[in-house]
Amino acid sequence: LRNENEIEQCVEKVIQKFGRIDILVNNASALWWQDIVDTPIKKYDLITSINSRGTFAMTKYCLPHMKKNGFGRVITMSPPIRLDGFAGHTAYNISKFGMTMVALGVAQEFRGQGITGNSLWPATVVESLASKNFQLGDEKTWRKATILADAVMSIIAEPDTFTGNMLIDDTYLRSKGLVDSDFVTYRCDPNFEPPRILDMDLDPETTRVLAKRGDVKKLNQDVDQSIIKSKL
């Protein structure tokens, strides 16, 4: 995602094999949760080149093929744009909100042309290599990635008028008819409901120490300074 030529080649290889592109899910991202003064410019360049720039470039090269067929679904795995969580997350938010803005841009530029743009974000920490390697809680505080997969499949099936939304996975699925009992299947620990820590209101100072993460070499130090510890 950091190399424009490789992105263009990737899209062309998909066209050569399948003949069309209908769906783009921008999921790849780099994580960095640190204060501005603790963020090296090289690290800032890394996360923005992968997250916002990579999403923009991949979307740019897919859109002409979607437009040709009069159909497309662009989904970015990125948070709703909000203003209460910048402390300790400024660089990361710039990169992730940039992804969300790509989805909103698609929605506005292609409204009425069969192409939609929406962003999707989990309410809880989701089980992944990132949640494990960065010790973002433990299994009982995570949901399975299937909740995001189910939400994506549902978004893809939405009509062309469903566009320009910044969605939270469980809130969206509830709007489709799911109830509390349906979410049990998404728990990593079937006996514990994970906290919706990624979609709660926070004051700036709490946000600052919610979870310092980014440098694996300093993981123990970051964990000690965070509200999200190895076990919530």
**Catalytic residue numbers, as ranges:** 92
8 A C-beta contact, residue 65 and residue 112: no
Beta carbons within 10 angstroms of residue 80's beta carbon: 14
Cα distance between residue 54 and residue 187, in whole Å: 31
| Neighbouring-strand partners of residue 116 | 73
One-letter-per-residue 3-state SS of 88-148: CCHHHHHHHHHHHHHHHHHHHHCCCCCEEEEEEECCCEECCHHHHHCCCCCHHHEECCHHH
Alpha-carbon torsion, ordered 232, 146, 1, 74, to 10 deg? -120
Cα distance between residue 232 and residue 217, in whole Å: 22
Beta carbons within 10 angstroms of residue 35's beta carbon: 13
| Sheet of 72-77, strand order | 23-26, 72-77, 115-121, 166-168
